[in-house]
A = this chain, B = another copy of it.
């Protein structure tokens, strides 16, 4: 079976034929969260991204007023290539659209942040099951009680994605995700969701609820929807983002941007993580 290309998803999005979530689509290609702001907010938002590399790994940035992002794809038009956009006015979600050309102006700056869907493809390639992909639905996303590091006017709770795995897979999944810092890297928490302020995993703040088998462990990754929570607090007069799960799919092959954190930590993380994952309760973030 021939793999879908990033450019194919963008064409479908640009023509309006596809407005859905991109989990599992064009699996070989880097996907990105999108935040579009007037230049007067760009410095503070850039600062926010740089301060929060786990939820906001900056992988692309446009010039003011320029809708192209050559670093991520030859023909990207950030005004039309995201399957579905959200428009926030004064921090309030005011609409959803598949084309924001009418809102684009000469001072707009587009930020692209890495996305865990990139890493999901690597999970699947390595034989791990990703349930929401199998179900063809969006990943469940939750606001946590973890505060991000402010950047200018931007601050707010970290948003996370949730996946579940058999306990014995957790260390391997850490080792694998460690190599994808531009796709949120390792989980920020696993085990008890209440320890990061999630009271009901059946009611995600974004995305779809997904059943969790009793014998599986929950793992939570920092999520590129975090900026949308910060926008609610910062209240810029206008901000355009992707709709959660509906990512910009790039032409960059994920395999080409694997990180070997320099200098390479020459010990597998697995043996260190096994211990705690054998006692999930003892492992969660202790917020007390």
Tell me if A203 counts as interface (CB < 8 A to partner B): no
A31-78 contacts to B (CB < 8 Å):
39-40, 42-44, 46-47, 50-51, 53-54, 58-63, 70-72
Q: Which residues of B contact A272 (CB under 8 A)?
A: 39, 42-43, 46, 61, 109
Q: Which residues of B contact A83 (CB under 8 A)?
A: none
Q: Is the CB of B152 within 8 A of A43?
A: no
Number of interface residues of A (CB under 8 A): 67
Q: Which residues of B contact A43 (CB under 8 A)?
A: 272-277, 283
**Residue among A72, A250, A283 having the largest count of chain B Cβ atoms under 10 Å:** A283
State the CA gap A283–B46 with chains docked (Å): 11
Tell me if A269 counts as interface (CB < 8 A to partner B): yes
Q: How far is the CB of A191 from chain B (nearest CB, A)?
A: 10
Q: How many copies does the complex hold?
A: 2
Q: How far is the CB of A280 from chain B (nearest CB, A)?
A: 11
* A43-B283, A53-B181, A283-B47 known; A71 vs B152 contact (CB < 8 Å): no
List the interface of chain A (C-beta within 8 A of B): 30, 39-40, 42-44, 46-47, 50-51, 53-54, 58-63, 70-72, 109, 146-147, 149-155, 158, 174, 178, 181-182, 185-186, 188-189, 195, 234, 250, 252, 256-257, 259, 261-267, 269, 272-277, 282-287
22 contacts between A and B (CB under 8 A): A43-B273, A43-B274, A43-B276, A44-B283, A46-B269, A46-B273, A47-B283, A50-B174, A50-B178, A51-B188, A59-B261, A60-B265, A61-B266, A61-B272, A63-B267, A149-B158, A155-B286, A155-B287, A182-B261, A250-B263, A256-B262, A257-B262
6 tightest Cβ-Cβ pairs between the two chains A and B: A150-B285, A257-B262, A43-B276, A71-B266, A50-B186, A42-B272
